[in-house]
Amino acid sequence: MAADSSIELMRTVFLDNKNKIFLIDSLSGREFTYQEIEHFYLQLASLLSARGIRKGDRVALLLPNSPEYVVLYFSCMQLGAIPVPININLAAKDISHIIFH
């Protein structure tokens, strides 16, 4: 499936389910609807784009499992950037190696 059609499919799913619960933050118990997550990831995608992130760029995701992680992941997808998850439990030298090599 081409990247553009994946984005269109994702947008359709979010639109069709906009008022349904998409995610529950396990720490706070806060519920997020599809519409809220879409709003957040489109805002962040705009910010990333303004900062020069483009299609094909790699974006390190050094975050715990959280709503913020999900939003950043979808923001990357929206831009065609490549999300690169990095385990937050790695030693600093290993994280540095992943990011800078």
Write out the chain's pLDDT in tens, 101 residues.
566 788 899 899 999 999 999 999 999 999 999 999 999 999 999 999 999 999 999 999 999 999 999 999 999 999 999 999 999 999 999 999 999 98
pLDDT at residue 101, rounded to an integer? 85
Q: How many helices (H) and strands (E) does the chain have?
A: 4, 4
Residue 41, amino acid: Y
pLDDT at residue 3, rounded to an integer? 63
Say how many C-beta atoms besides its own lie within 10 A of residue 78's C-beta.
19
Q: Is the torsion defined by CA of 40, 42, 45, 50 positive or negative? A: negative
Predicted structure pTM score: 0.88
Contacts within 8 Å (CB) and 24+ apart, 65-70: 65/26, 66/25, 66/27, 67/23, 67/25, 67/30, 67/32, 67/37, 67/40, 70/23, 70/37, 70/41
Cα torsion at 66, 67, 69, 70 (round to 10°)? 130
